[in-house]
Amino acid sequence: MTQRPSNHSARDAAVRIVQVLREHGHAAYLAGGCVRDALLGLTPKDYDVATDALPDHVRELFRNSRFVGEAFGVVLVRQFSREVEVATFRTESNYEDGRRPSHVEFTDAEHDAKRRDFTINGLFEDPLAADPAAAIIDYVGGRADLKARLLRAIGDADARFAEDYLRMLRAARFASRFGFTIDEKTGRAIRLHAHKLGQISRERIGVEVQLMLTAPTRGAAAQLIRDLHLDAPALTEVHRETPLETVSSLVSDASYAAALTAWMIDRHAPIETPSPASTHATLLPEVRHFLGKEAAATLRRWRKALCLSNDEQGRVHAILALLSVVLEWPALRVAHRKRAMASHVWDDSLAVLRAMGDRPGVARLVHQIDRDAVPLLKEGIAPKPWITGDDLIEMGLKPGPVFKRLLIDAYDAQLEHAITSRREAVAWVESHR
Ligand code: ATP
Ligand code: MG
């Protein structure tokens, strides 16, 4: 069933749900991230409602609803054409080895606040409060920490991370996203438990890393991950103290694949490391060395560690390969420059190269590429080929290595204007077969 777009905001939808629950005698509040974001002056991504109504009752009160996390007491309610998660106040227990709770119990607002991870995530808001000053319900000191820009675990930090090691990565995510300082005890507890992050499923780790690396604050996130020693368990490799200039210098809307590549270069091809290749004074010897020797194995490791999709790992692979080509730009013939520019990861690769701008020679290379690219783009970097495989077959050629070579060479000749029509292309093939 299609519905007309509604004029109500996501907040309106959540507030309406709170109202209905209230009218039926229940406690109900806006909860968690949306309260935090609003207090920070940011627009919340979504609004969650927390209530003492039991899940079955929530289902009855809202006909347009369904269970999404029945075991956790979460119901998705459709209101004003928007979906709002309505969760019953709960406590969680029996964490098995620092992973997800195996048991939940329904409870009151205070206990629900206290089972949450960080004080800034443990706030409730009563949107129907007559006195706006009394609208925020704070059982955990979240408001003071928001003011002080502090990320602090609720309760005993040690115990809270031992319950769920993923919270360590979430700490890096929230602190980097808001530019908050991590409270001292909280930070100490993370460093203490960091090596146990590997007990968490690779999928959940991957989700957190992706959220961090696709945010404009990815540089701060990578630094926190390094400084908290979460890099080793997150990436299943040794801890590295390398500078993180590349990932920190990426354009803010860089793709996940570009961010992963930049981070990889920072970690595995740091500028200080004199590499074997640096004996001959080429541009970026440390990066060339990495691309030639370790990149493939590192990507295989990261793919598993972060549960990268085929698409993401393919993109990173392509960026790494294209970077090797781009480093040779001054020596590339026109056809090869055009082929590079037509790649689906050209923009990603250039973004990574630009982000290495503090390394010797990069600024000059980028400048040359930018200059050379203008006329090439104007000519067209990926024209329709004059000659295709079908044409060659019609001309009596058989598919194979020679056939393939002819196609490549004919297209290169076209890209360089040695062939300017189909007739010339046919003649070219006849004289080269
Ligand atoms: P975002 O804007 O990134 O979605 P959020 O605060 O809404 O931030 P979610 O991951 O959507 O974060 O979780 C919603 C709320 O549930 C959090 O604010 C927090 O109170 C609680 N929460 C989520 N994950 C955990 C966890 N692993 N341990 C404890 N509480 C958690
Ligand atoms: Mg959320």
- Cβ neighbours for 201, distance < 8 A, ≥ 6 positions apart: 99
Question: Which of 116, 186, 208 to mutate to test ligand 1, by most ligand atoms within 8 A of the CB atom?
Answer: 116
- If one counts every other C-beta atom within 10 angstroms of the C-beta of residue 307, the result is 18
Q: What is the pLDDT of residue 4?
A: 59
Tell me which of 29, 100, 121 to substitute to probe ligand 1's pocket, judged by most ligand atoms within 8 Å of the beta carbon.
121
Which residue do the tokens 């959220």 mark? Answer: 211
Q: Distance (Å, rounded) from C-alpha 161 to C-alpha 144?
A: 22
Contact 171, 186 (CB under 8 A): yes
Tell me how far apart the alpha carbons of residues 252 and 262 are, in angstroms, rounded to a whole number: 13
Predicted confidence at residue 73, as pLDDT, reads 86
- Ion ligand 2: residues, Cβ under 5 Å: 33
Which structure tokens are listed for 356?
A: 């290495």
For residue 145, give the 3-state DSSP assignment: helix
Our answer on whether the CB atom of 166 is closer than 6 Å to any ligand 1 atom is yes
CB 219 within 8 A of CB 187: no
107 vs 93: CA distance, rounded Å:
13
Smallest CA separation from ligand 1 atom 6, residue: 33
In this structure, what are the phi and psi dihedrals at residue 76, rounded to the nearest 5 degrees? Answer: -95, 120
Residue ranges covered by each domain of the chain:
1-148, 152-241, 251-382, 389-432
Helix axes 310-326, 256-268, angle to 10 degrees: 60
Q: Which residues of the chain have pLDDT under 70?
A: 1-5, 97, 272-281
Q: Is 85 in the pocket of ligand 1 (CB under 6 A)?
A: no
Strand locations in 3-106 (E)? 28-31, 48-51, 65-69, 74-79, 82-88, 90-96, 99-106
Ligand 1 site, residue 164, Cβ cutoff 6 A? yes
Ligand 1 atom at shortest distance from the alpha carbon of 177: 3
The single-letter DSSP state of residue 194 is G
Could you tell me how far CA 179 lies from the centroid of its own chain? 17
The angle subtended at Cα 168 by Cα 167 and Cα 171, nearest 5°, is 85
Q: Is the CB of 150 under 6 A from ligand 1?
A: no
Beta-strand relationship, 48-51 and 82-88: parallel
For 377, other C-beta atoms within 10 Å of its C-beta total 11
Asked if residue 117 has its Cβ within 6 Å of ligand 1, the reply is: yes
In the reported structure, the alpha carbon of residue 252 is separated from the centroid of ligand 1 by a whole-number distance in angstroms of: 24
Whether the CB-CB separation of 202 and 165 falls below 8 Å is answered with no
48 CA distance to ligand 2 centroid (A)?
8
Q: How many Å lie between the centroid of ligand 2 and the Cα of residue 156?
A: 23
Q: Which residue has the tokens 């990436």?
A: 235
pLDDT of residue 93: 82
Which CATH number is associated with domain 152-241?
1.10.110.30
pLDDT at site 197: 98
45 lines ligand 1 (CB under 6 A): yes
Residues near 55 by Cβ (< 8 Å), separated by ≥ 6?
A: 67, 70, 73, 74, 75, 88
Q: Which amino acid is at 349?
A: S
Inter-residue contact 88 to 73 (CB < 8 Å): yes
Whole-angstrom distance, CA of residue 193 vs CA of residue 403: 59
- CATH fold match for the domains 1-148 and 152-241: no
Which CATH number does 1-148 carry?
Answer: 3.30.460.10
Amino acid 101: pLDDT = 76
CA–centroid distance, residue 429 to ligand 2 (Å): 60
End-to-end CA distance of the chain: 61
